[in-house]
C-alpha cells in the first residue's frame, strides 16, 4: 500500500503528477484555507503533507496525526512549524531555500521604487480623474540613486538586494546577527554597521530577517524614532518583524516619509488604518510570485516530501534530530 499525502492548498498540476508517482495524493485544489480542525482531520491518516505558511504544524495537531512523518513547506519561511514538537514526534520538517531569492530581491526593488517615487499614489490619483496637467511640484518623491540603502538581515535575499543597488550608485549598509566575510561584503559593496547606525543613516531601510520570537517587532516604536527623518521603510520579509501600529503612527506623524509593505501582522487581516494612508505602498504577500519561481517552490517542496518518505533524507531538512 502506497503512503498517503495531503497537499493543503492548490498547486500546479505538474506537482500533483510528480507526487502521484510515489503516493496516494489528496489535494485541496479548491484552495480554501483549512481550519486547524479540518487540517487535523484530513491529516489523521496521512504519512506526509505539503504545507503553506498558514498551516500551523504544532503539538496539538501532531497529537491527532500519529502516522505523519513529514511536513514540507512551500516557502522559505517556517514559522508555522513548531520544530521542537515536530522533532519530538519524529516528523521531518522542510522548506524551500534558495528558490525564491532573486524574485524576492527583484520585488523588493519594485517596492523601493514605487514607494520612493509615489507610483501607486499617483496612479490612484490619475485613475480618479484628478490629473489636469503637468505641474512642477506634482508628486515630488525621493531619489533612489546615490541614496543610502540600509539592509537589516543579510542572508541570501539581503545580499541579492545589495548587489542590485550598484546600478543606483547607492551606499549600502547592513546589520546582521553575524558579520559577513570580507569577500562577501566586497561582492555586495556593503559595509557592516551597528543597529543604531543603520537606523540613523539609512535613507531607505529594507528588512530581510525571518520571523521568530527574537525578531518579533524588531522594528518597533523605539527603532522608528531612531530612523533618519524622512526615511523610507520596506518590508518584504515577514509580518510581525514590524510593529504595524507603531509604523502607522510614524507614517501619520510624518516621522517616516513612506513605507512599502508586502507583509503584515495577522495577514490577511491587515490593520485597516493602512488603507487610509497615502504614503504607503501595499501588496498582498507576492514578493516571490512569478510563475517560474512559484513552480520551483512547489516542486522543491514536493521533492523534499518524496525524499523524506522514501529515503528519510530530504535535502532541506530543518530538524535533523527528527
Q: Cβ of 274: how many Cβ atoms within 10 Å?
A: 16
Q: Rounded CA gap, 33 and 175, in Å? A: 36
Q: Is 156 a catalytic residue?
A: no
Active-site entry in 217, 226, 285, 295:
285
Q: Rounded CA gap, 253 and 206, in Å? A: 20
In DSSP terms, which residues pair with 175 in a beta bridge? 152
Q: Is 285 a catalytic residue?
A: yes
Peptide bond into 246 cis (omega under 30): no
Q: Is residue 156 classed exposed, middle or buried when 0-12, 13-18 and 19+ CB atoms within 10 A define those classes?
A: middle
Active-site entry in 238, 265, 294, 303:
238
Q: Cβ of 318: how many Cβ atoms within 10 Å?
A: 20
- Distances in Å between the Cα of 192 and the Cα atoms of 7, 70, 75, 173, 217 are 42, 38, 28, 6, 22
Q: Which of 215, 158, 150 is nearest to 184 (CA)?
A: 158
Write the CB contacts of 71 (distance below 8 Å, at least 6 apart in sequence): 48, 49, 51, 55, 57, 81, 86, 91, 92, 93, 94
- Distances in Å between the Cα of 110 and the Cα atoms of 120, 139, 179, 262 are 11, 18, 27, 11
In DSSP terms, which residues pair with 191 in a beta bridge? 173
Q: Which of 252, 249, 253 is nearest to 220 (CA)?
A: 249
Q: Is 123 a catalytic residue?
A: no
Active-site entry in 88, 197, 249, 267:
267
What are the catalytic residues?
Answer: 238, 267, 285
Amino acid at each position: 500500500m502506497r503512503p498517503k499525502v495531503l497537499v493543503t492548498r492548490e498547486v500546479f498540476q505538474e506537482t500533483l503528477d510528480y507526487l502521484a508517482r510515489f503516493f496516494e495524493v489528496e489535494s485541496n485544489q479548491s484552495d480554501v484555507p483549512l481550519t486547524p480542525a479540518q487540517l487535523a482531520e484530513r491529516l489523521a491518516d496521512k504519512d506526509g503533507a505539503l504545507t503553506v505558511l498558514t498551516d500551523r504544524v504544532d503539538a496539538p495537531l501532531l497529537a491527532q496525526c500519529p502516522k505523519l512523518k513529514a511536513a514540507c513547506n512551500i516557502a522559505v519561511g517556517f514559522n508555522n512549524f513548531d520544530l521542537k514538537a515536530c522533532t519530538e514526534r519524529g516528523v521531518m520538517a522542510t522548506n524551500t531555500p534558495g528558490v525564491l531569492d532573486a524574485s524576492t530581491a527583484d520585488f523588493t526593488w519594485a517596492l523601493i521604487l514605487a514607494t520612493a517615487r509615489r507610483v501607486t499614489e499617483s496612479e490612484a490619483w490619475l485613475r480618479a480623474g484628478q490629473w489636469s496637467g503637468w505641474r512642477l511640484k506634482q508628486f515630488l518623491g525621493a531619489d533612489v540613486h546615490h541614496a543610502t540603502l540600509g539592509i537589516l538581515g543579510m542572508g541570501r535575499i539581503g545580499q541579492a538586494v545589495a548587489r542590485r543597488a550598484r546600478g543606483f550608485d547607492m551606499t549600502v549598509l547592513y546589520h546582521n546577527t553575524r558579520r559577513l566575510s570580507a569577500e562577501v561584503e566586497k561582492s555586495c559593496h556593503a559595509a557592516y554597521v551597528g543597529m543604531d547606525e543603520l537606523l540613523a543613516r539609512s535613507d531607505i531601510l529594507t528588512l530581510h530577517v525571518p520571523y521568530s520570537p527574537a525578531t518579533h517587532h524588531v522594528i518597533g516604536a523605539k527603532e522608528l524614532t531612531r530612523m533618519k527623518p524622512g526615511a523610507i521603510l520596506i518590508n518584504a520579509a515577514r509580518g510581525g518583524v514590524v510593529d504595524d501600529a507603531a509604523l502607522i503612527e510614524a507614517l501619520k506623524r510624518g516621522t517616516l516619509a513612506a513605507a512599502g509593505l508586502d507583509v503584515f501582522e495577522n495577514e490577511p487581516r491587515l490593520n485597516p488604518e493602512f488603507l487610509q494612508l497615502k504614503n504607503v505602498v501595499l501588496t498582498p504577500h507576492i514578493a516571490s510570485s512569478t510563475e517560474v519561481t512559484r513552480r520551483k517552490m512547489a516542486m522543491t517542496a514536493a521533492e523534499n516530501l518524496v525524499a523524506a518518505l522514501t529515503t528519510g533524507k530530504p535535502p532541506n531538512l530543518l530538524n535533523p534530530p527528527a
